[in-house]
Homo-oligomer: A and B are copies of this chain.
Amino acid sequence: MADGTIYVINPNSNADVTNEIDSALSPLRHARGPRISCITLAEGPAGIETQRDADGVIGPLLRRAASLESDAAAFVVACFSDPGIHALREQSARPVFGIAECGVLTAMALGRRVGIIAILPASVARHHRYFTSLGLTTRIAGELPVGLRVGELADEQCAIARMVDVGRTLRDGHGADVLVLGCAGMARYRSALEKSLAVPVVDPTHATVAIALGRLASIGDG
Protein backbone atom coordinates (compact mmCIF):
# COMPACT_ATOMS: atom_id res chain seq x y z
CA MET A 1 0.00 0.00 0.00
CA ALA A 2 1.30 3.44 -0.92
CA ASP A 3 2.45 5.59 1.94
CA GLY A 4 0.88 8.84 2.81
CA THR A 5 -2.57 10.18 3.54
CA ILE A 6 -5.72 10.49 1.48
CA TYR A 7 -6.74 14.08 2.08
CA VAL A 8 -10.47 14.56 1.80
CA ILE A 9 -10.97 18.30 1.59
CA ASN A 10 -14.40 19.67 2.34
CA PRO A 11 -14.24 23.02 0.55
CA ASN A 12 -16.97 24.61 2.62
CA SER A 13 -16.23 25.94 6.07
CA ASN A 14 -18.90 23.89 7.81
CA ALA A 15 -17.06 21.57 10.22
CA ASP A 16 -20.27 19.61 10.86
CA VAL A 17 -20.21 18.53 7.23
CA THR A 18 -16.57 17.51 7.59
CA ASN A 19 -17.41 15.47 10.67
CA GLU A 20 -20.25 13.80 8.86
CA ILE A 21 -17.95 12.89 5.98
CA ASP A 22 -15.40 11.60 8.46
CA SER A 23 -17.94 9.29 10.09
CA ALA A 24 -19.16 8.01 6.79
CA LEU A 25 -15.63 7.02 5.83
CA SER A 26 -14.97 4.96 8.98
CA PRO A 27 -15.80 1.59 7.40
CA LEU A 28 -13.11 2.28 4.78
CA ARG A 29 -10.34 2.69 7.36
CA HIS A 30 -8.26 -0.29 8.30
CA ALA A 31 -4.87 -1.07 9.75
CA ARG A 32 -2.93 -1.72 6.56
CA GLY A 33 -4.57 1.05 4.58
CA PRO A 34 -3.52 4.66 4.19
CA ARG A 35 -4.65 7.30 6.63
CA ILE A 36 -7.82 9.09 5.55
CA SER A 37 -7.85 12.63 6.84
CA CYS A 38 -10.86 14.95 6.44
CA ILE A 39 -10.15 18.65 6.35
CA THR A 40 -12.35 21.74 6.46
CA LEU A 41 -11.40 24.60 4.20
CA ALA A 42 -11.62 27.54 6.55
CA GLU A 43 -11.79 30.05 3.68
CA GLY A 44 -14.81 28.33 2.11
CA PRO A 45 -18.41 29.56 2.39
CA ALA A 46 -20.91 27.92 4.74
CA GLY A 47 -22.08 25.84 1.80
CA ILE A 48 -21.30 25.71 -1.91
CA GLU A 49 -24.61 26.71 -3.39
CA THR A 50 -23.78 28.90 -6.38
CA GLN A 51 -21.32 28.91 -9.24
CA ARG A 52 -19.63 31.82 -7.50
CA ASP A 53 -19.20 29.70 -4.37
CA ALA A 54 -17.73 26.85 -6.40
CA ASP A 55 -15.35 29.08 -8.34
CA GLY A 56 -14.40 31.02 -5.24
CA VAL A 57 -12.99 28.09 -3.27
CA ILE A 58 -10.52 27.03 -5.93
CA GLY A 59 -7.76 29.44 -4.89
CA PRO A 60 -7.79 28.50 -1.19
CA LEU A 61 -8.23 24.83 -2.08
CA LEU A 62 -5.11 24.87 -4.24
CA ARG A 63 -3.09 26.58 -1.53
CA ARG A 64 -4.24 24.14 1.11
CA ALA A 65 -3.51 21.17 -1.11
CA ALA A 66 -0.05 22.51 -1.91
CA SER A 67 0.73 22.60 1.80
CA LEU A 68 -0.32 18.95 2.09
CA GLU A 69 1.36 17.69 -1.07
CA SER A 70 4.48 16.16 0.45
CA ASP A 71 2.49 13.94 2.76
CA ALA A 72 -0.41 13.23 0.44
CA ALA A 73 -1.13 9.91 -1.25
CA ALA A 74 -4.21 11.30 -3.00
CA PHE A 75 -6.65 14.18 -2.86
CA VAL A 76 -10.43 13.98 -2.76
CA VAL A 77 -12.38 17.18 -3.30
CA ALA A 78 -15.51 16.57 -1.25
CA CYS A 79 -18.02 18.90 -2.89
CA PHE A 80 -20.50 17.66 -5.46
CA SER A 81 -19.48 20.40 -7.90
CA ASP A 82 -15.90 19.07 -8.05
CA PRO A 83 -14.48 22.61 -7.80
CA GLY A 84 -10.87 22.95 -8.81
CA ILE A 85 -10.14 19.33 -9.66
CA HIS A 86 -8.58 20.16 -13.02
CA ALA A 87 -6.40 22.91 -11.56
CA LEU A 88 -5.43 20.60 -8.70
CA ARG A 89 -4.50 17.90 -11.22
CA GLU A 90 -2.19 20.44 -12.86
CA GLN A 91 -0.61 21.32 -9.55
CA SER A 92 -0.28 17.99 -7.79
CA ALA A 93 1.71 14.86 -8.56
CA ARG A 94 -0.91 12.81 -6.66
CA PRO A 95 -4.13 11.34 -7.98
CA VAL A 96 -7.01 13.82 -7.60
CA PHE A 97 -10.60 12.65 -7.36
CA GLY A 98 -13.86 14.59 -7.44
CA ILE A 99 -16.85 13.19 -5.60
CA ALA A 100 -19.39 14.15 -8.25
CA GLU A 101 -17.47 12.34 -10.96
CA CYS A 102 -16.69 9.26 -8.86
CA GLY A 103 -20.12 9.19 -7.26
CA VAL A 104 -21.91 9.03 -10.58
CA LEU A 105 -19.40 6.56 -12.06
CA THR A 106 -19.92 4.25 -9.09
CA ALA A 107 -23.68 4.53 -9.44
CA MET A 108 -23.32 3.49 -13.06
CA ALA A 109 -21.80 0.23 -11.83
CA LEU A 110 -24.83 -0.39 -9.61
CA GLY A 111 -27.69 0.54 -11.92
CA ARG A 112 -28.48 1.68 -15.42
CA ARG A 113 -30.21 4.97 -14.79
CA VAL A 114 -28.82 7.31 -12.18
CA GLY A 115 -30.97 9.71 -10.16
CA ILE A 116 -29.30 12.56 -8.28
CA ILE A 117 -30.69 14.28 -5.19
CA ALA A 118 -29.50 17.89 -5.14
CA ILE A 119 -29.83 20.52 -2.47
CA LEU A 120 -31.09 23.55 -4.45
CA PRO A 121 -32.55 24.19 -7.91
CA ALA A 122 -29.45 26.19 -8.89
CA SER A 123 -27.30 23.15 -8.19
CA VAL A 124 -29.12 21.13 -10.82
CA ALA A 125 -28.16 23.39 -13.73
CA ARG A 126 -24.55 23.60 -12.52
CA HIS A 127 -24.29 19.83 -12.17
CA HIS A 128 -25.94 19.30 -15.54
CA ARG A 129 -23.28 21.40 -17.27
CA TYR A 130 -20.64 19.35 -15.47
CA PHE A 131 -22.05 15.92 -16.26
CA THR A 132 -22.50 17.00 -19.85
CA SER A 133 -18.81 17.91 -19.96
CA LEU A 134 -18.05 14.39 -18.69
CA GLY A 135 -20.16 12.77 -21.42
CA LEU A 136 -22.30 10.99 -18.83
CA THR A 137 -25.75 12.41 -19.48
CA THR A 138 -27.14 9.41 -21.34
CA ARG A 139 -27.02 7.45 -18.09
CA ILE A 140 -28.56 10.13 -15.86
CA ALA A 141 -32.30 9.67 -15.34
CA GLY A 142 -32.71 13.04 -13.66
CA GLU A 143 -31.65 15.34 -10.88
CA LEU A 144 -34.06 17.03 -8.50
CA PRO A 145 -33.51 19.38 -5.55
CA VAL A 146 -34.80 18.94 -2.01
CA GLY A 147 -34.90 22.71 -1.61
CA LEU A 148 -32.67 22.80 1.46
CA ARG A 149 -29.46 24.75 1.93
CA VAL A 150 -26.34 22.92 3.11
CA GLY A 151 -26.85 24.12 6.69
CA GLU A 152 -30.47 22.98 6.69
CA LEU A 153 -29.53 19.38 5.96
CA ALA A 154 -28.76 18.96 9.66
CA ASP A 155 -32.49 19.04 10.48
CA GLU A 156 -32.85 15.29 10.23
CA GLN A 157 -36.59 14.93 10.21
CA CYS A 158 -37.13 17.49 7.52
CA ALA A 159 -34.15 16.39 5.45
CA ILE A 160 -34.91 12.69 5.31
CA ALA A 161 -38.57 13.31 4.51
CA ARG A 162 -37.66 15.48 1.55
CA MET A 163 -34.94 13.16 0.38
CA VAL A 164 -37.28 10.19 0.41
CA ASP A 165 -39.83 12.23 -1.48
CA VAL A 166 -37.41 13.38 -4.15
CA GLY A 167 -35.80 9.94 -4.37
CA ARG A 168 -39.18 8.33 -4.92
CA THR A 169 -39.97 10.76 -7.74
CA LEU A 170 -36.62 9.98 -9.35
CA ARG A 171 -37.25 6.25 -9.02
CA ASP A 172 -40.89 6.12 -10.06
CA GLY A 173 -41.22 9.13 -12.32
CA HIS A 174 -37.81 9.24 -13.97
CA GLY A 175 -36.97 5.54 -13.94
CA ALA A 176 -33.85 5.82 -11.77
CA ASP A 177 -32.67 2.46 -10.46
CA VAL A 178 -29.80 3.87 -8.41
CA LEU A 179 -29.50 7.18 -6.54
CA VAL A 180 -26.58 9.45 -5.71
CA LEU A 181 -26.56 11.94 -2.86
CA GLY A 182 -25.76 15.25 -4.53
CA CYS A 183 -24.07 16.85 -1.53
CA ALA A 184 -21.35 15.66 0.82
CA GLY A 185 -23.51 16.80 3.72
CA MET A 186 -26.20 14.17 3.02
CA ALA A 187 -24.01 11.19 3.96
CA ARG A 188 -25.79 10.36 7.18
CA TYR A 189 -29.04 9.71 5.32
CA ARG A 190 -27.69 7.20 2.83
CA SER A 191 -28.63 4.06 4.66
CA ALA A 192 -32.13 5.16 5.66
CA LEU A 193 -32.84 6.30 2.13
CA GLU A 194 -31.66 3.02 0.68
CA LYS A 195 -33.91 1.07 3.03
CA SER A 196 -36.86 3.33 2.30
CA LEU A 197 -36.61 3.21 -1.46
CA ALA A 198 -35.15 -0.25 -2.10
CA VAL A 199 -32.63 0.95 -4.68
CA PRO A 200 -28.89 1.37 -4.08
CA VAL A 201 -27.99 4.81 -2.77
CA VAL A 202 -24.44 6.09 -3.25
CA ASP A 203 -22.73 8.49 -0.86
CA PRO A 204 -20.32 10.11 -3.28
CA THR A 205 -17.52 10.80 -0.82
CA HIS A 206 -17.54 7.20 0.36
CA ALA A 207 -17.59 5.91 -3.21
CA THR A 208 -14.73 8.19 -4.16
CA VAL A 209 -12.51 7.14 -1.29
CA ALA A 210 -13.17 3.49 -2.22
CA ILE A 211 -11.91 4.19 -5.76
CA ALA A 212 -8.94 6.11 -4.36
CA LEU A 213 -8.09 3.20 -2.05
CA GLY A 214 -8.21 0.85 -5.01
CA ARG A 215 -5.93 3.08 -7.01
CA LEU A 216 -3.42 3.41 -4.17
CA ALA A 217 -3.45 -0.33 -3.48
CA SER A 218 -2.79 -0.83 -7.15
CA ILE A 219 0.12 1.59 -7.24
CA GLY A 220 1.46 0.14 -4.04
CA ASP A 221 1.56 -3.21 -5.68
CA GLY A 222 3.83 -2.11 -8.48
Considering the complex, give the chain B residue whose CB is closest to the CB of A108: B105
Within 8 A of B (CB), among A22-69: 24, 26-28, 30-33, 50-52, 55-56, 58-59, 62
Please state if A209 and B203 are interface contacts (CB–CB under 8 Å).
no
Q: Does A70 contact B (CB under 8 A)?
A: no
User: Interface size of A by Cβ–Cβ distance < 8 Å?
Assistant: 68
Complex alpha-carbon distance, A46 and B11, angstroms? 28
In the complex, which residues of chain B have a beta carbon less than 8 angstroms from the beta carbon of A221? 24, 26-27, 190-191
Q: Does A206 contact B (CB under 8 A)?
A: yes
Interface stretch (choices A13-21, A94-102, A144-152, A162-170) = A94-102
Query: Would you give the 0/1 interface string for A182-194, flagging 1 where the beta carbon is closer than 8 Å to chain B?
Result: 0000000011101
Please state if A211 and B132 are interface contacts (CB–CB under 8 Å).
no
Q: With A52-B90, A55-B55, A86-B51 known to touch, is A27 a contact of B218 (CB < 8 Å)?
A: yes
Please state if A27 and B1 are interface contacts (CB–CB under 8 Å).
yes
Within 8 A of B (CB), among A170-210: 190-192, 194-195, 200, 202-203, 206-207, 209-210
- Set B32, B59, B218: member contacting A59, Cβ < 8 A: B59
Considering the complex, give the chain B residue whose CB is closest to the CB of A33: B30
In the complex, which residues of chain B have a beta carbon less than 8 angstroms from the beta carbon of A211? 106, 109, 207, 210-211, 214
Within 8 A of B (CB), among A76-102: 84, 86-87, 89-91, 95, 97, 101-102
Given contacts A190-B221, A190-B222, 15 further A-B contacts (CB under 8 A): A51-B86, A95-B110, A102-B109, A105-B109, A108-B134, A110-B215, A129-B133, A130-B133, A190-B218, A191-B221, A192-B222, A206-B217, A206-B218, A207-B214, A210-B217
Q: Jot down 17 A-B pairs with beta carbons below 8 A, ordered by A.
A: A27-B218, A27-B220, A28-B214, A30-B30, A55-B59, A55-B84, A56-B58, A105-B109, A106-B211, A110-B215, A112-B129, A132-B132, A135-B139, A194-B222, A206-B218, A213-B214, A214-B214
